[in-house]
Structure 1
Amino acid sequence: MLSKEIATLLNEQINKEFYSAYLYLDMANFYAEKGLFGYENWFKVQAEEEMSHAMLFRQYLLNNGHTVTLSALADPSKSYENTKDPLVEALKHEEYVTASINNIYEVAVKQKDYRSQQFLDWFIKEQGEEEANAQENIQKFEVFGSDNRGLYMLNKELEARVFTPPSLQL
């Protein structure tokens, strides 16, 4: 049975995932205002992913007989000095989310909650991918972003990203 402590942590994670979606939509807005619609698209897709993650946590709690508690989301609005800043902020945020999921996993290990560990395995793998993608965006921007043609090509590349719903079985 899912403990109250893990249920509380998972509820908090739901809200963190929804905040992530909110944050990434704010970043998408920043890029839209700059006319960088590929970057806007990348962050819109990222927001969709984060919402789907929140919904997976929600369903896991419901499947295990726990109440889902949603709280108000903080204002994600930030001021960015340049077009690289949101990319750096996104990596920091993904590292924060990774730490949060790792913490839940550690509690599940201590409690010998094997079902939650198995559920969280997917998120741990996913966070590795999220951090790698964020790092790749920064690296590509650092190499090509200062050149207008390079930035144009990066923007076009990011325009092609599409949302693919996760295939995690609950």
Structure 2
Amino acid sequence: MALDKSVSSVLNEQINKELYSAYLYLTFADYYEDRGLKGYANWYMIQVQEEVDHAKILRRYLLDNDFKPTMEAIDKPDKTFSNDLEPLEAGYEHEQYVTSLINKCYQAAYDAHDFRTMKMLDWFVNEQGEEESNASDMITDYKLFGGTPQGLFSLDQKYLTRTYVQTTAMPM
């Protein structure tokens, strides 16, 4: 069964948004790397990998449903930071934006009565809840503990232990 045009279009757009997210988080990792905060850089490098995984999941879904994805240009991130909290806040804001985009995809599937796509998108809805929670927790932790060199060091060490786990199968 071919996808509804509005559904395939919004999912194709979401691929670009996921790749932009990876590009944006790469700039966050670079900021922290430059500051010597390798744990924070590690956190965001893993985010980069996850966002690319999300784009690949959507691409595969489109291909498996007889739609050829088209790759669009990725916008250049325009964020600059003057302190270590700003990337965390920008990350939280961005995750809220991505949630709104996933909701838009879900709405298109709902309007088209495309229950299979809605089921696939359930995974993304749950993922966004986790992403927003993690981003919010990082802000809270930084505000509570990042104000001292020792606290910042401890948080950085905590984020250095995060490991990448590839999403290996399409969530359904």
Q: TM-score, normalised by structure 2?
A: 0.96
Gaps of 5+ in 2: none
State the SS of the aligned residue for 2:119: helix
Identify the residue that residue 168 of structure 1 maps to in structure 2: 170
CA drift at 1:117: 0.3
1:42-53 correspondence runs (5 A): 42-53=43-54
Which deviations, in whole Å up to 9, do the C-alpha atoms of 1:95-116 show, x marking residues without a partner? 0000001111012112110000
Identify the residue that residue 69 of structure 2 maps to in structure 1: 68
Runs of 4+ in 1 over 4 A off after TM superposition: none
Q: Provide the C-alpha distance between the structure 2 equivalents of 1:159 and 1:123, rounded to a whole number of angstroms.
A: 25
CA drift at 1:26: 0.5
Cα distance change on mapping 1:127 and 1:68 into 2, 3 Å: same
Q: How many residues are aligned here?
A: 170
The answer to whether 1:54 aligns with 2:55 is yes
- The question of whether the paired residues in 1 share the 8 Å contact of 2:16 and 2:74 is answered with yes
Identify the residue that residue 134 of structure 2 maps to in structure 1: 133
Q: Provide the C-alpha distance between the structure 1 equivalents of 2:56 and 2:106, rounded to a whole number of angstroms.
A: 18
- The question of whether the paired residues in 1 share the 8 Å contact of 2:10 and 2:108 is answered with no
State the SS of the aligned residue for 1:143: helix
CA drift at 1:168: 3.3
Q: Provide the C-alpha distance between the structure 1 equivalents of 2:28 and 2:78, rounded to a whole number of angstroms.
A: 8
State the SS of the aligned residue for 1:66: coil
% identical equivalent positions: 42
Q: Which amino acid aligns with 2:155?
A: L
Q: Provide the C-alpha distance between the structure 2 equivalents of 1:159 and 1:168, rounded to a whole number of angstroms.
A: 28
Q: Which amino acid aligns with 1:39?
A: Y
Which deviations, in whole Å up to 9, do the C-alpha atoms of 1:105-150 show, x marking residues without a partner? 0121121100000000000000000000000000000000111100
Identify the residue that residue 87 of structure 2 maps to in structure 1: 86
* CA RMSD between the two structures: 1.0
- The question of whether the paired residues in 2 share the 8 Å contact of 1:108 and 1:114 is answered with yes
Q: Provide the C-alpha distance between the structure 2 equivalents of 1:67 and 1:148, rounded to a whole number of angstroms.
A: 51
Gaps of 5+ in 1: none
CA drift at 1:78: 1.9
Q: Provide the C-alpha distance between the structure 2 equivalents of 1:109 and 1:8, rounded to a whole number of angstroms.
A: 14
